[in-house]
Structure 1
């Protein structure tokens, strides 16, 4: 059985999809999956399903949703009532969020070791598990509680993948992707530093400096801060010519993650 929350909630078994109807049942399942085998209290589940205005029949409705979910999932899943709430055991099932975490952690560690090709492969595999915005089809309360940390983990994996590929000399292939990422996330300094690095290695030093100036302006106007150490170091490396693939700035940058 396969459970997916890195995109719209999806359950599959033996190549076929098991439909989970309704926001409440999908939210219940996703919340229990993300608890990683821990007990979720009734109070927490009610908050995730109904927010601050639960119905007067909340206990009965919660029991009904749990019963229906048990029927949908069948034997391979253990949805257990505990004194304080509910716990989900999925035995040998595949859960995409757990697999993403495993692969991305391995990728970050491999990058720190300087094994760039292996790190890039691991991080590409991790990012390939995403099918769209996380937790599609669940309540707003659950998305607000869980999606930000999933999204941040995805961004960190993407940044590390880009570092690995830059270290492998793939700057020409990355310029277009980084142009789009900085346009979407203009205040994310690591993307901007990576874009500057790629441009510099494509012999576009003037454009790399312009990218820095624009970032410094946006940070001052939007947040009232100066560029952080990594972006500042990249700017200095552009000015000093220290961003060559075998230069000291390159060796320092790939050790940062």
Structure 2
């Protein structure tokens, strides 16, 4: 059995997707999965399902959603009732979030060890697990609470994968992707630093400096802050044509 939340919440068994009965059942399943086997209280499930206006029968309704989940998932998965809450044990089933975290951790370790080709492959594998917007078909309360930190984790892994590609000299290949990423996340300093580095290595120094100036103004106007240490150091290095710009970016931290 395969559980997925990195996109629409889904369950697959023997190669086929299993039918889940609506948004609320998917919300209960996703909340229990995210708890990773830990106790999940009724009060939090209620808030994820109905916000601050639960029906008078919310405990009974949660019980019904869990009962239907048990029937759908079968004996391979244990959903255990505890006083005032539940916990779920998925046994030998796979869960895309756990796999993503495992690959991301291995990739980061490879970067720290200077194994950039291996790191890039691991982080690419982690990113392929994402099937679209995370938690795309659950309640707005669950998606709004748990979605942003998961999306931040994806962006961090994406930045790590770009860093690994830059470290092995793929700056011409990642330049178009980085241009799109900076346009999509204009306040993300790591992407901007990576794009400045790629532009410099492609003999486009003036564009790299203009990118810094634009980012400096944007950070000041939007957040009231100055560029961080990494951006400032890369800007200084570009002005000085410092050969350290050809070193892996993780060595600048």
TM range (shorter): over 0.9
- Measure how far apart 1:145 and its partner are: 1.3
Q: Deviations over 1:228-254 (max 9, x none)?
A: 001111111111122xxxx43444622
Q: Deviations over 1:88-113 (max 9, x none)?
A: 00001110001000100111111011
8 Å Cα contact 1:120/1:164 also seen in 2: yes
2:134 match: 134
Write the deviation string for residues 48-101 of structure 1: whole angstroms up to 9, x where unpaired. 111100001111111111111111111111011012310100001110001000
Aligned to 1:226: 226
Aligned residue for 2:57? 57
Query: Mind listing any 5+ residue stretches in structure 2 that lack a counterpart?
Result: none
Alignment of 1:111-190 (within 5 A): 111-190=111-190
TM, length-normalised to structure 2 = 0.97
Q: TM-score, normalised by structure 1?
A: 0.96
**Which string of whole-angstrom CA distances, capped at 9 and with x for unpartnered residues, describes residues 143-177 of structure 1?**
11111110111011011111110010000011100
* Equivalent-residue separation in structure 2 for 1:256 and 1:49 (angstroms): 45
SS of 1:255's equivalent in the other structure is helix
Secondary structure, aligned partner of 2:3: strand
Could you list the runs of 4 or more consecutive aligned residues of structure 1 that deviate by over 4 angstroms after TM superposition? none
Please, which runs of 5 or more residues in structure 1 have no aligned partner?
none
Q: CA deviation at 1:142?
A: 0.4
Q: What corresponds to 1:248 in structure 2? A: 244
CA separation of 1:231 and 1:6: change in aligned 2, threshold 3 A: same
Aligned residue number for residue 192 of structure 1: 192
Q: Is the 1:111–1:255 Cα contact (8 Å) retained in structure 2?
A: no
Tell me how far apart the structure 2 counterparts of residues 206 and 193 of structure 1 sit (CA, whole Å). Answer: 14
Q: Distance in 1 between matches of 2:113 and 2:16?
A: 40
CA contact 2:182–2:191 (8 Å) conserved in 1:
yes
Q: How many residues align?
A: 253
Q: How big is the alpha-carbon RMSD for the aligned residues of Structure 1 and Structure 2?
A: 1.1
* Aligned equivalent of 1:212: 212
